[in-house]
Amino acid sequence: MAAKSPKLDASPKTTLDQGGAPHQSAAGPDDTMTTAQGVAIADDQNSLKAHARGPGLLEDQIMREKIFHFDHERIPERVVHARGYGVHGHFELKEAIPELSHAAIFNRVGEKVPTFTRFSTVAGSKGSPDVARDVRGFATKFYTSEGNWDLVGNNIPVFFIQDAIKFPDLIHSVKPAPDRGFPQAQSAHDNFWDFATLSPETMHMLMWVMSDRAIPRSLRFMEGFGVHTFRLINAEGESKFVKFHWKPKQGLQSVIWNEALKINGMDPDFHRRDMWDAIDAGDFPQWDLGIQVFDDDFADNFAFDILDPTKLIPEEDVPVRIIGTMTLDANVDNFFAETEQVAFCTQNIVPGIDFTNDPLLQGRNFSYLDTQLKRLGGPNFTHIPINAPKCPVRHFQQDGHMAMTNPKGRANYEPNSWGGDTGEDAGPRENPETGFKSYDEPIEGKKQRVRSELFGDHYSQARQFYISQTEIEQTHVQDAITFELSKVERLEIRERMVGHLRNIDGDLAQQVADGLGMDKLPAKQKAVREPITDLKPSDALSILKNGPDSFAGRKLGIYIAEGGDARLVKSLKTAAEDAGATVAIIAPHVGGAKLSDGKTMQADEKIDGGPSVVFDAVALVMGEKAAKNYADDKPTQDFVSDAFAHAKFIAYSEEVMAIFKAVGIDGKLDKGVAKLGGGDDAKSFIDQCGELRFWDRVAVKQD
């Protein structure tokens, strides 16, 4: 197992570390419970009463303190990205880029820079299900030697809107409607599609969120993007533009919509559990950090405005250059202290990196700092360990709520003339050599509320995204839009969207119109700028073209029952584990099942709690009597019929045919369903599982 990243100081088991070094209880032996004031508690079961059956006494300072604290346990959830999951790790630079940036993080090859990454959904509240159709946040705090750099990105390289002033409207429209307070964590409703279709700048992003990108199989199997164009600045003060990319070494993978709906019911914590389990097992996910670098010349000649966050730069035009790798290798000790209190701010950048004039980024630079004040209750949130830089911090900011690291000495202003002979510490001074300098971009022009002309192209890259998908993926996009619009009550909103789709791809518009039962295609929406229709497809935009090359990191569910062939189960387990996958045993009872060798194998899940939707591939190994017995069992039938419908690879011992018959797939078995005899069968099956899904099974669209 690799070394773990530096984390918050661990506290002794039953005492609380209140900011300083771990301490022992002042009140007595190590495990004595105390109040927050350190006074030992004699009875934590009974409040103080006037009499055994009498009224409670106000005097009970111990109960009052306990309940007071409990009453204040919650802080406001994030207004967006409320549901998230954070993990510690480190970033290691593989290739220095001094010609592009003088930032230490881009120049010290091999140095391990600690990181904290929080993944999130956008629309749902803290308790919403993980596999909602939504964008995923991918925010990383790098604790660099020159201060914290926060790369606050998403798993989609573009955004819905072009100007920060539209953000509250976008978010209001997707969040639960103000009168009824629902729907939760969904975009399939009138308000969202009303706003989106009246704001055609959303069209490119809509293609992404209607694709399988918005229902990832795991947080480990998705890309990350900084979205905006940033600047890199070298020691000479020269600047180039840059877009940041995270490429998962695990490959890309998503679930399909019907699966997502079922997973959300079976395991609303599917993504966070998956991340916790992988890291707990030492299977540390890794992402390469890549940069797309380009200059003014490219920017001036590119078909779109590089300041427009609804556009991407195809990797075929500017290749992604990999410069380092992030490894996530430690779960948090305390969810609240770390995942909840972490405060990402887009304005946290270090010397050698700079902003551009992207109007969304400019607005974000205000919003993030502002929101932390509300959420964390004061300006000293940088004193909270998860937010504190791991390099020296010296300034004259002082006081405020919950100030933890307070300056010593007399000087709290500058310039000052302390120091020298006075013997007093004069405090820190600015440093023109190493201090942060903005790129001295010349600016002139009129003060206006306008957008640049190229921002008016709303359809070209939406089309490029769509035509870059495989046929299966295109079908998923059609189905997703049809599903969402079917939940929209107002006909004119549905028609407006199909009118936009006609500017993107004729067949897509027709499929959705058919799916919605429209008699004729609604009128085309008027385009502000005529779309470019000959942009080349880009393979990088497809998930299926960028999948993994093995079953590593994936999960096999083996459903066993009485009399199942013990050798088969063992060989499946071994083959899966050898491939770097994990295995869960499912049985009719959690106590497990007695196999052919007479031994009882314990189960991880009872069948009702271990449906096939939570696995990447499944196997069923049962004795004849048991298979017949469970052929009529509904959870068993769902296990098989879902796995089959979701194009999963299925392995079985021949007795299981009784169940296949019961669910009506016995006559449809294809190359994705493998009968296990002996020999290398298990290994061949696991090799085949590396393709993740047997798409041929669902490739022909049923009308």
Name which position in 11, 145, 367, 550 contacts ligand HDE (CB under 6 A): 367
**CB count, 10 Å around CB of 34?**
17
- Residues numbered 250 to 309 that lie near ligand HDE (CB under 6 A) are 309
Name which position in 5, 84, 142, 293 contacts ligand HDE (CB under 6 A): 84
Report, in Å, the least distance between residue 117 CB and ligand HDE: 9
Report, in Å, the least distance between residue 467 CB and ligand HDE: 25
CB 216 within 8 Å of CB 253: yes
Select 104 or 123, whichever has its Cβ closest to ligand HDE.
123
Tally of residues, the chain: 703
Report, in Å, the least distance between residue 78 CB and ligand HDE: 4
**CB count, 10 Å around CB of 435?**
8
Please state whether the peptide bond connecting residue 248 to the residue before it is cis, i.e. omega within 30 degrees of 0. Answer: no
Applying CB under 6 A, does 48 fall inside the site for ligand HDE? Answer: no
Q: What share of the chain is helix, strand, coil (3-state, %, to 5)?
A: 30, 15, 50
DSSP states along 490-528: -HHHHHHHHHHHHHH-HHHHHHHHHHTT-SSPPPPPPPS
- Residues numbered 432 to 491 that lie near ligand HDE (CB under 6 A) are none
Report, in Å, the least distance between residue 393 CB and ligand HDE: 20
Binding string, 308-327, against ligand HDE, x = CB under 6 A?
Answer: -x------------------
Applying CB under 6 A, does 204 fall inside the site for ligand HDE? Answer: no
Name which position in 5, 62, 80, 121 contacts ligand HDE (CB under 6 A): 80
Applying CB under 6 A, does 81 fall inside the site for ligand HDE? Answer: yes
Report, in Å, the least distance between residue 364 CB and ligand HDE: 5
Report, in Å, the least distance between residue 173 CB and ligand HDE: 14
Using CB under 6 A, which of the segments 38-46, 159-167, 608-616, 695-703 binds ligand HDE?
159-167
- Residues numbered 115 to 154 that lie near ligand HDE (CB under 6 A) are 118, 120, 137, 139, 152-154
Report, in Å, the least distance between residue 281 CB and ligand HDE: 24
Select 376 or 498, whichever has its Cβ closest to ligand HDE.
376
The verdict on whether 258 is a catalytic residue reads: no
Using CB under 6 A, which of the segments 367-375, 489-497, 580-588, 642-650 binds ligand HDE?
367-375
CB 186 within 8 Å of CB 133: yes
Applying CB under 6 A, does 167 fall inside the site for ligand HDE? Answer: yes
| CA 323-328-332 angle, 5° bins | 145
Strands 650-652 and 600-601: what pairing? Answer: unpaired
**Catalytic one of 81, 228, 245, 500:** 81
CB 346 within 8 Å of CB 81: no
Select 83 or 697, whichever has its Cβ closest to ligand HDE.
83
Select 215 or 498, whichever has its Cβ closest to ligand HDE.
215
Q: Is 584 exposed, middle or buried (0-12, 13-18, 19+ CB in 10 A)?
A: middle
Select 363 or 609, whichever has its Cβ closest to ligand HDE.
363
The verdict on whether 81 is a catalytic residue reads: yes
Q: What number of chain residues touch ligand HDE (CB under 6 A)? A: 25
3-state secondary structure 449-479: CCCCHHHHCCCHHHHHHHHCCCHHHHHHHHH
Applying CB under 6 A, does 360 fall inside the site for ligand HDE? Answer: yes
Applying CB under 6 A, does 643 fall inside the site for ligand HDE? Answer: no
Applying CB under 6 A, does 371 fall inside the site for ligand HDE? Answer: yes
Using CB under 6 A, which of the segments 51-59, 72-80, 271-279, 691-699 binds ligand HDE?
72-80
**Catalytic one of 88, 90, 154, 646:** 154
Report, in Å, the least distance between residue 212 CB and ligand HDE: 19
Using CB under 6 A, which of the segments 21-29, 357-365, 448-456, 476-484 binds ligand HDE?
357-365
Name which position in 177, 321, 337, 363 contacts ligand HDE (CB under 6 A): 363
Name which position in 364, 383, 463, 697 contacts ligand HDE (CB under 6 A): 364
Report, in Å, the least distance between residue 343 CB and ligand HDE: 6
Q: Report the DSSP beta bridge partners of residue 225.
A: 154, 245
Report, in Å, the least distance between residue 250 CB and ligand HDE: 20
Applying CB under 6 A, does 195 fall inside the site for ligand HDE? Answer: no
| CA 255-259-264 angle, 5° bins | 105
- Residues numbered 213 to 242 that lie near ligand HDE (CB under 6 A) are 227
Strand ranges across the sheet with 650-652: 605-606, 582-587, 555-560, 617-621, 650-652, 673-675
Select 260 or 360, whichever has its Cβ closest to ligand HDE.
360
Using CB under 6 A, which of the segments 321-329, 365-373, 496-504, 556-564 binds ligand HDE?
365-373
Q: Give whole-number Cα distances, 214 to 117, 122, 207, 241, in Å.
A: 19, 11, 10, 28
- Indicate the SS3 state at residue 41: coil
Residue 528: which residues within 8 A CB-CB, separation 6 or more? Answer: 200, 456, 457, 458
Half-sphere exposure of 280 (CA within 13 A, CB side): 9
Alpha-carbon span 73 to 68, nearest angstrom: 9
The residue at minimum Cβ distance from ligand HDE is 137
Report, in Å, the least distance between residue 309 CB and ligand HDE: 6
Alpha-carbon span 317 to 299, nearest angstrom: 12
- Indicate the SS3 state at residue 392: coil
Q: Report the DSSP beta bridge partners of residue 86.
A: 118
CB 638 within 8 Å of CB 607: no
Is residue 633 left, alpha or beta, with left meaning phi > 0 and alpha meaning psi from -120 to 50? beta
Alpha-carbon span 312 to 228, nearest angstrom: 9
Alpha-carbon span 343 to 330, nearest angstrom: 19
Q: Give whole-number Cα distances, 482 to 286, 307, 498, 618, in Å.
A: 35, 32, 10, 30
Binding string, 671-700, against ligand HDE, x = CB under 6 A?
Answer: ------------------------------
Binding string, 329-348, against ligand HDE, x = CB under 6 A?
Answer: -------------x-x----
Q: Give whole-number Cα distances, 3 to 86, 118, 252, 654, in Å.
A: 18, 20, 26, 46
CB 117 within 8 Å of CB 326: yes
Catalytic positions, please? Answer: 81, 154
Residues of this chain that interact with ligand HDE (CB under 6 A) are 78-81, 84, 118, 120, 137, 139, 152-154, 159, 164, 167, 227, 309, 342, 344, 360, 363-364, 367-368, 371
